[in-house]
Structure 1
């Protein structure tokens, strides 16, 4: 019986690996292309790019409501629907993304699918993990996703530099990958991720986790919005450069994520999140002042390093997930709380880019990264307050 259960668990993990990998390919294609697509197609200013984050992040803010509205479905079914949303958004951008209103619509559809599937992937992974090895499994799944991202980035690099494909063709391939992920998710059968969930949940015991989510929402905009915009607008880098940087940082992440997961299981979440905050401060200062350090043409290489480090540090997010897993009052609290955390961090994400765009326009881009560094300081201070109950 135990052997049968282990075999069933292994099959579900393999299906999750397949879905995660295909979503990684799709994400690698989108994230390394979208900013350049906006710049080349619509010629946006930094302020306009910042304002665009409001509709892009709005579905993230609504994640708890979207997930709650689908509480009668199994988590794997919701993840399949979310993956189809990603596919629909990217295909819409492929076919009709050249018109600004259409781009907004399909960007929002893509965003809804992406933000809905993120917490569900973590919740399903925790449901499949053996006790005491949650972070290790999150690390291995993250490694698979990162490896797949390399494939997506490599496709973008080859598409632009060698195949000379346009953005429409690139987005279409990303849509096909996301559709494949939906098929994998739809075939999964995970018992503890298959029960009906609470539509909405808030507990005071999770207050520190909620605060970490708020700070993460502010911090991540450095990577999502303003970091790439520095490379595009200040250093005039093409989409193929982003693909190469993603590939380099993703290769590092393939090996780093499992090690980081094992470290979290052994030493806990607090040192990992404090380290993340300290390194993020250095990244922000590098972004903001590389051009002013007298490095000449090598300044862009420092920003390359910051961009890669910024992406690599996103792996520490698994520490927030395992922290929630350890403090959860009930196992079925995890999925709705993870969904709520996405909504919380996106409440911040919707406002920070607009404010950052105003800062950029009024005082120059270094001011944006000084503000981000201050947020990282607060994030580190909050992380030192993490306490988890001893595992029996």
Structure 2
């Protein structure tokens, strides 16, 4: 089979296509909702709560893959993300933005759920950390192109939100259609369980996913919003900041893949959560004491870099999980990841109105909780050795 028609190549193509729509939507979002719909902290909280509902309902993927192949479901979800992004500026009201956001979010979250499952099925355990690192770099490169175009053309050609959203969304949609037409249907090495799976031995993975989802929401919702509301960043300025983070991720993502392969998931996640705890604590001090825009931008870039180590959570599960559990557990994990996401943005939106810095201090506490959980990952995770407690269970087992 030609290289360009192999399963891993398809994963790379989709990894490049998804950020074109999603990252463009994210880059313009805070300016769009403030300038066009006059959003405040409460409104942005509700927007992200609505955006995360499909993630909470990602468990429905288990039912869908009974009637639709995972590969087809992933590509169709990518198509929906692209079309919904293209239409975003057509609905410049609170109700309209919430509705179109819900549709694009269904596409994004169902694509991500299936994509994670396919990655863990189609990539071997030995190659996974490095390949996933290169996929992160590919997504960053695609986003870099999108952001670069926004920065260089936004003021030069006096672009409007509709033009940019339409261009980015339709590009992703066209790539999705080509993926449907050009790639054959690939088989998984192991047939997947097509029913709800919740296993006791995966409890640490579930806990880490829950904390990751809660902590990520604070960054996604409020870090960028702070840059616009507190420091007055305009579209081209905040997009330039995103460009810096992308360049950093393009360099760091392959290194992170190598580091996870070399040092293991335990050390990688300990390093990530320690860094995130310090960064979020600094965010809180930044807002409380007004330490300056340069520090704010630096923390934003560092935050993005540390999130790249989240690939270690994927490979941790790949090592401990049954190969037949990849698809159903990806759906369950996405739902667990989004439990807090459904209520946290709206709730913290009200807290933001009264005491913004406390939102970031809460995130620092969440990162510390994740750090404590990461210490429970064994140095060599595998089935039967999912946590550090497994050694005690084996010692307590009666001799045969």
Query: What is the TM-score when the length of structure 1 is the normalising length?
Result: 0.91
Q: Is residue 329 of structure 2 the alignment partner of residue 337 of structure 1?
A: yes
What is residue 144 of structure 1 aligned with on the other side? Answer: 138
- Could you say if the C-alpha distance between residues 91 and 9 of structure 1 is closer, same or farther in structure 2, counting changes exceeding 3 Å? closer
d(CA) in 2 for partners of 1:315, 1:181: 25
What is residue 391 of structure 2 aligned with on the other side? Answer: none
Q: Is the 8 A contact 1:63 1:343 kept in 2?
A: yes
Q: Is the 8 A contact 2:192 2:325 kept in 1?
A: no
Q: Is the 8 A contact 1:218 1:349 kept in 2?
A: yes
d(CA) in 2 for partners of 1:221, 1:12: 31
Q: Aligned runs of 1:242-257 on 2, under 5 Å?
A: 242-257=238-253
Cα deviation per residue 1:330-369 (whole Å; 9 max; x = unaligned)?
x12112211211111111111111222222223x211111
Q: Is residue 352 of structure 2 the alignment partner of residue 360 of structure 1?
A: yes
Q: Aligned runs of 1:152-163 on 2, under 5 Å?
A: 152-163=146-157
Q: Is residue 31 of structure 2 the alignment partner of residue 39 of structure 1?
A: no
Q: For 2:376, what is the secondary structure of its paired residue?
A: coil
Q: Is residue 3 of structure 2 the alignment partner of residue 11 of structure 1?
A: no
d(CA) in 1 for partners of 2:245, 2:130: 20
- Could you say if the C-alpha distance between residues 67 and 88 of structure 1 is closer, same or farther in structure 2, counting changes exceeding 3 Å? farther
Greater Cα shift, 55-64 or 285-294: 285-294
1:118 to 112, 115, 118: 112
Q: For 1:32, what is the secondary structure of its paired residue?
A: helix
Q: Is the 8 A contact 1:29 1:155 kept in 2?
A: no
Q: For 1:132, what is the secondary structure of its paired residue?
A: coil
Q: CA deviation at 1:156?
A: 2.1
Instruction: Give the unaligned 5+ runs of structure 2.
Output: 384-400
d(CA) in 2 for partners of 1:194, 1:71: 15
What is residue 222 of structure 2 aligned with on the other side? Answer: 226
Q: CA deviation at 1:311?
A: 1.6
- Could you say if the C-alpha distance between residues 191 and 160 of structure 1 is closer, same or farther in structure 2, counting changes exceeding 3 Å? same
Q: CA deviation at 1:290?
A: 1.9
Q: Is residue 278 of structure 2 the alignment partner of residue 278 of structure 1?
A: no
- Could you say if the C-alpha distance between residues 189 and 44 of structure 1 is closer, same or farther in structure 2, counting changes exceeding 3 Å? same
d(CA) in 2 for partners of 1:389, 1:374: 26
- Could you say if the C-alpha distance between residues 368 and 131 of structure 1 is closer, same or farther in structure 2, counting changes exceeding 3 Å? closer
Q: Is the 8 A contact 2:279 2:299 kept in 1?
A: yes
- Could you say if the C-alpha distance between residues 302 and 130 of structure 1 is closer, same or farther in structure 2, counting changes exceeding 3 Å? same
- Could you say if the C-alpha distance between residues 389 and 275 of structure 1 is closer, same or farther in structure 2, counting changes exceeding 3 Å? closer
d(CA) in 2 for partners of 1:320, 1:15: 22
What is residue 376 of structure 1 aligned with on the other side? Answer: 367
Q: CA deviation at 1:276?
A: 1.1
d(CA) in 1 for partners of 2:287, 2:95: 35
Q: CA deviation at 1:188?
A: 4.6
What is residue 57 of structure 2 aligned with on the other side? Answer: 62
Instruction: Give the unaligned 5+ runs of structure 1.
Output: none
- Could you say if the C-alpha distance between residues 197 and 311 of structure 1 is closer, same or farther in structure 2, counting changes exceeding 3 Å? same
d(CA) in 2 for partners of 1:33, 1:164: 14
Q: Is the 8 A contact 2:22 2:81 kept in 1?
A: no
What is residue 312 of structure 2 aligned with on the other side? Answer: 319
- How many residues align? The count is 380
Q: For 1:130, what is the secondary structure of its paired residue?
A: coil
1:301 to 283, 294, 301: 294
Q: CA deviation at 1:234?
A: 0.9
Q: Is the 8 A contact 2:70 2:114 kept in 1?
A: yes
Q: Is the 8 A contact 2:81 2:169 kept in 1?
A: yes
d(CA) in 2 for partners of 1:69, 1:76: 12
What is residue 24 of structure 1 aligned with on the other side? Answer: 19
- Could you say if the C-alpha distance between residues 16 and 276 of structure 1 is closer, same or farther in structure 2, counting changes exceeding 3 Å? same
d(CA) in 2 for partners of 1:265, 1:355: 38
Greater Cα shift, 120-129 or 75-84: 120-129
Q: CA deviation at 1:9?
A: 8.6
Q: Is the 8 A contact 1:23 1:177 kept in 2?
A: no
Q: Is the 8 A contact 2:121 2:190 kept in 1?
A: no
d(CA) in 2 for partners of 1:185, 1:380: 39
Q: CA deviation at 1:209?
A: 0.6
